[in-house]
Chains A and B, each alone.
Chain A
Amino acid sequence: MIRLVRRPMPSRGWALATPLLAVLLTMIAGGLLFAALGKDPLVAIRTIFWDPIMGKNAFYYRSQLPVKAAPLVLIATGLALGFRAGIWNIGAEGQYIVGALCGAAVGLGFYPAEGWYIFPLMVIAGALGGFLWAMIPALLRVTFGTSEILVSLMLVYVAENLLASMALGAMKNPDGFGFPGSRNLSQYPAAANLEIWPGTGIHWGVIAALIAVICAYVVLARHLLGFQIKVTGLAPRAARFAGVDPKRLIVICLGVSGALAGLAGMFEVSGPSGIVSIDFNVGYGFTAIIVAFLGRLHPVGILLAALLMALTYIGGGIAEGQLGLPSAAILAFQGMLLFFLLALDVLTNFSIRLGSGQTRGGV
């Protein structure tokens, strides 16, 4: 008989090994899926994981990795701080949208003026927009005890409608013949978030993402706030005794993750996307939740996880185009990744025992 026995402490070894094992199992299960669709599984896996980095035309795909990964890193880093403390911001997608709208509003407001100060102001506006949007669930939670999970999630739909209204109304391009969508900010030099080194895909959002990772690492490893976050997540009662103010922590964690999501949206709307359009948001805020867990809520892990997710997007696109794989198969493939990761978490928290011995340290 196989039994699961809870470990006294989560296993560090398994915590590091499970992401790799999850990727491996995803490759195997995904390979079976692709084979069932009549495609060569080895070719499909190679197309997804190898071609974007080393294959023909990799010079282009490599430059797309940071473009796709940067918003994920920015958002997931912020989310992870809250998740560690048991504060669940599920509405990063909404904060991303509002950050983009605020950043774009500043840029469009200055159009067509020139000036070095316009872009920094947009950055501030973007962060502030995301921060304020996240303050709604934070303050409701702190004052009325509402669930920040539900409130932040519901606010995504509010933000989407706000986005549609902006794209169709206030921010509509006056030279756009009545079509929805704003002016293209990436074609307005003072507001454009362009590649810093052409051909590399590295724009200011990528730099901001790296800074966020470093800051989050330092905060978690060295700062009192990091200690408070960790201890709250592990033992909320003990945290209270250690002098942690849970309300303050909720406001800080939601505020920081909102600001980072807002920044991600702002860098996206002024750079790769360029336009405030009805369908501007493509789910980075939700994918970042997967990225945060895939990266074990650790800043460096998140960086790697975001690159892996970006790789599956880019490689998945290549596989769709070259092998004729349906896009649903790629989505299923990405879903498997999260599924295996969560399933394998059992190994981190439990040890497997064979036979029917006495339970030690059971709950």
Chain B
Amino acid sequence: MQRRQFLATTAATALAAATGSVAQAADKVKVGFIYVGPVNDGGWTQHHHEAALEMVETLGDKVEMVYQENVPEGPDAERAMTQMALDGANLIFTTSFGFMDATINVAAKFPDVKFEHATGYKTAPNVGVYSARFYEGRAVQGFLAGKMTKSNKIGYIASFPIPEVIRGINSAFIHARKVNPDVEFSVIWAFTWFDPAKEADAATALIEQGCDVILQHTDSTAPQAAAQKAGNVYTFGQAADMAEYAPMPRISSIIDVWAPYYIARTEAVLNGTWESDNTWDGIGAGMVGIGEISSAVPADVKAEAEALRDSIAAGEYHPFTGPLKKQDGSDWLAEGETADDGTLAGMNFFVEGLTGDIPS
């Protein structure tokens, strides 16, 4: 027993000694980024990385940036974070949902290091969480999809059946149906965030089923390439603008805009004002960007889409406004009622009209 305590105490002391104490304003901070994919994936991770580089460019020599890519979720992530903390990082961004428990565990060992976990829900005094209201962008995509489809069949390449993805499908569907009551959605669950081969297969399958608009919640440009080959199919950029596929097939995009947040949080550590937060920002705050609506879209449709975007940004319109029913026909939101953040955060049901089940 004594030996156990001795070892535990020495380990704790050594950890504390290794990190030092950074409570007050600092002249220079070391910021670490843990990425789940490669920094050139063309989507999610690349966008985080570019935002990190933009943060470095903005803050100049007040900040030193380190990163590790392709970090598997689980104990390897814990080691990568511990390593950064031991090497003197003051602020660590962990940019994938699967890093959640690892972030909490490591943060408990390094009370003086600040952690920011993307898309999770567990916080601590030194762990903040941040995510973007991508469903606001999905509303604009759904609107465009409903207007642009001729076959009335819209394909959706989903990644994992988690609330964030389900929210996106619901939001897109609601707004597609609103402008085109005949529209049907085909959802393919790819069970990956990034796998060009799987994504290309999914896109090809959807196109063969007659879908002429494809939305994706996966990060590669493979669906864009498949749509380009088919010729008459519209797509949307995901996470990144994917402008290389504009004006056809890519007619717009949802862009993750992380840089302002990274700059603000790093500055907060520099100023000694950092506090644990729970940020969930959308188009209005600039965390979700709507990529240029391309010339393939008629001018009046484009104007309407932009008006929708602006009303969401201004807070005048909530994408989940009643009357809305769940897929099983039960009531969800009454006329004029809007969804609360708690329900949205844990959304695990389809809205009425969507076909197919959420895998479980």
Contacts and interface: CB of A to CB of B under 8 A. Distances in A.
Q: Do A and B bind each other?
A: yes
B72 interface: yes
A177 B83 CA distance: 30
Given A59-B14, A168-B360, A199-B7, A180 B82 contact: no
Contact of A179 (B82, B84, B121): B121
Nearest to B5: A198
Nearest to B164: A179
B202 to A, nearest CB: 15
A326 B75 CA distance: 20
B42 interface: no
B79 A322 contact: no
B294 interface: no
A282 B346 contact: no
B8 interface: yes
Interface residues of B, number: 45
B80 interface: yes
B8 A199 contact: yes
A206 to B, nearest CB: 13
Contact of B84 (A200, A274, A321): A321
B75 A67 contact: yes
Interface in A234-293: 268, 272-275, 277-280, 282
Nearest to A272: B75
A21 B86 CA distance: 33
Interface in B314-354: 345-348
A282 B38 contact: no
B75 A199 contact: no
Contacts of A61: 83
A279 B72 contact: yes
Contacts of B18: 56-57
Nearest to A184: B101
Contacts of A280: 74
Given A172-B360, A199-B10, A273-B74, A321 B163 contact: no
Interface in A317-355: 317-318, 320-322, 324, 326-328
A177 B345 contact: yes
A277 B36 CA distance: 14
Given A321-B66, A322-B87, A178 B11 contact: no
Nearest to B86: A57
Q: Which of B75, B163, B348 has the most CB of A within 10 A?
A: B75
Interface in B145-161: 160-161
B196 interface: no
Nearest to A327: B70
Contact of A328 (B38, B346, B348): B38
Given A57-B18, A165-B359, A317-B80, A179 B97 contact: yes
A60 interface: yes
Given A57-B87, A321-B68, A198 B74 contact: no
B76 A274 contact: no
A11 interface: no
Nearest to A169: B360
Nearest to A283: B72
Given A59-B14, A180-B162, A198 B8 contact: yes
A292 B80 CA distance: 26
Contacts of B14: 59-60
B89 to A, nearest CB: 9
Contact of A318 (B67, B72, B83, B191): B83
A273 B7 contact: no
A307 interface: no
A278 B346 CA distance: 18
Contacts of B191: 161, 164, 278
Interface in A147-204: 161, 164-165, 168-169, 172, 177-181, 184, 197-200
A317 B86 CA distance: 13
B101 A321 contact: no
Interface string B1-29: 00110011011001100100000000000
A277 B7 contact: no
B286 interface: no
Contacts of A199: 7-8, 10-11
A282 B7 contact: no
A314 interface: yes
Given A57-B18, A178-B348, A277 B86 contact: no
A180 B76 contact: no
A181 to B, nearest CB: 8
A274 B161 contact: no
A279 B68 contact: no
B346 A178 contact: yes
B32 to A, nearest CB: 8
Interface string A95-116: 0000000000000000000000
Interface in B183-209: 191
Contacts of B79: 64, 314, 317
B277 interface: no
Contact of B86 (A60, A172, A180, A272): A60
Contacts of B210: none
B161 A317 contact: no
A204 B225 CA distance: 49
A327 B38 contact: yes
Given A177-B346, A275-B101, A282-B72, A200 B162 contact: no
Contacts of A326: 38-39, 69
Contact of A59 (B11, B87, B121): B11
A199 B12 CA distance: 9
Contacts of A313: 76
B98 interface: yes
A228 B8 CA distance: 47
A200 B10 CA distance: 11
A178 B4 contact: no
A148 B8 CA distance: 46
7 contacts: A181-B98, A184-B101, A273-B74, A277-B74, A278-B160, A320-B68, A326-B38
Given A60-B14, A179-B121, 15 more contacts: A57-B18, A59-B14, A64-B79, A161-B191, A177-B163, A179-B162, A181-B98, A200-B7, A278-B191, A279-B72, A279-B73, A317-B80, A321-B32, A321-B68, A321-B80
